[in-house]
Chains A and B, each alone.
Chain A
């Protein structure tokens, strides 16, 4: 099955400080955008699988974030919650073109 993505411009690179998250609201879809230490931009759903808390304000560490409410560790690359906790957060594809950041929805 082919899925068509909507490509949505959400920010320019200069608006996203390194190692911090940004809340992005596309319609009613809330996304947490992270500028990682490696320079990559990653996007995941801004809801944690545990109690539905926000993730954009988590502490960024490498490719992981530590969620603000109960300190779970979540990979922003694949959305997987790290042991000993379990679960998964939805991830979104990100494309960067001429310093503009696009999320594929």
Chain B
């Protein structure tokens, strides 16, 4: 096994700058050559090469002082700390983590809660810590390790503050709250005070805290509460769909329905948007709500779509795209595979990859090649890029598998054909397995179906991604028609009630499983939901075909203008 990154030192080495594993720097980040500095993952300081972001920020500070001629402290190396999720379990470690003859430890092991804590003490001072299962103490411990604190400071504090708010209040100002973007408590509190911020979203917008992984959202909200005191309003925190308005998702949807608004611009004007043209958050959200409310009449506004959903392909980091053709239930055949192989050859596709959703992904395609590639493939879009049904994964099922109790492939294909192209608040993934061994991983899907002898179990709200969550059993039914009826009603209920970009896993937790169960238990509710769903489905067409048949779309969205450099007019 090999893990980690390696500094790219080629340029430095070729330029005659002394290198070892990384570019060698002294305590002021100076390399062996005057006026050339190095910081971050490429730099080697006191024989250490850091691969984390925190040391870079510390080095950057020292270097900035150096370059601007300020008297500053030298860089003396960083205490490494890391906080991550391993198989769904929170893990934190910082500083010294291996015990030796000079260390003493405080250890707490709770088998019942599944937590473990080890704090290493060297010469009466906090030298390192490992947390497993519960990492809420991580920041506090890191602060103590960084200032080489006396052990009493830890043991006494542990008794006095239990609440999260207390923790936020007691953090020193220089402590980093957002590790992704290097934002300190001081910066956050300063911004709240100086700019009169009152909501989490405002703090995020002004300081960058919580803008990347979002892991520090709770702490940022706590800091807001600590700083504002009585002026803090919890209601303020679940507001506004973006900073262009003060209205929440529910208020906006209600207004669109009541005032019969039909266009994003109209929504912004009538509901008093603070900006003239909206932003990248409200535009796609309004587009979704309008389409959900008026499925037959809403005229699509492609300028309010994200690039992937405008171009019907997934943009990659280098500006190329990926193409995933529809392959219902993950089932293919020799002719389709041959066609895909021929297309891959014709367009020199650099990477062909089987996706997590049982599809074939052709990566590294130039934007201009997309329409002709789709024409050559002559297969529907697999929608691997959209806020819509992505794929229905299936296991082999009763026709071949000796454990299969049901035709999972047939069920999966029927679901995919029914729900494909449907616009949803966020992406929706489905799976059908033919026995509880669950080879199609139905337990971590937005909708998961599991076949058992003589019946189907329907699971909802599962997620295998950022918000890992096992799906909840919604109900058990006998026939595949019932599966389509129940899942249809469920998906429509989600479409009508979730906020844009809210995955089912989050939505199910917010509204509660019991609420969903009781709503869908009512036959009349299900019929109405399915009627509205059918209406939404009836107007959808394949976007690849639409592009192939329209020269205007090809020209406006896919063609690059090429001018030779020398031509003058």
Contacts and interface: CB of A to CB of B under 8 A. Distances in A.
A and B bound? Answer: yes
Given A9-B569, A59-B283, A71-B280, A83 B307 contact: no
B382 interface: no
A25 B562 contact: yes
Given A59-B304, A84-B205, A29 B565 contact: yes
B111 interface: no
27 contacts: A8-B568, A9-B563, A9-B567, A9-B569, A11-B561, A15-B555, A17-B303, A19-B303, A23-B560, A24-B561, A26-B565, A27-B565, A28-B565, A53-B319, A54-B319, A59-B280, A59-B303, A59-B306, A59-B307, A61-B280, A66-B279, A68-B315, A69-B315, A71-B280, A83-B206, A84-B205, A84-B206
Given A26-B565, A66-B280, 8 more contacts: A6-B568, A17-B556, A20-B302, A26-B564, A29-B565, A61-B283, A62-B275, A64-B277
A51 B211 CA distance: 17
Interface string B270-284: 000001111110011
Nearest to B321: A57
A6 to B, nearest CB: 6
B350 to A, nearest CB: 18
Interface string A1-41: 00000111111000101111011111111000100010000
A20 to B, nearest CB: 6
Contacts of B567: 8-9
A84 B565 contact: no
Contacts of B279: 61, 66, 73
A79 interface: no
A87 B321 CA distance: 26
Top 6 A-B pairs, shortest CB-CB distance: A27-B565, A66-B280, A19-B303, A62-B277, A54-B319, A57-B307
A37 B569 CA distance: 27
A51 B317 contact: yes
A13 B307 CA distance: 22
A51 B469 CA distance: 32
B103 interface: no
B83 interface: no
A24 B564 CA distance: 11
Contacts of A92: none
Contacts of A44: none
A74 to B, nearest CB: 11
Given A9-B563, A20-B556, A26-B563, A84 B569 contact: no
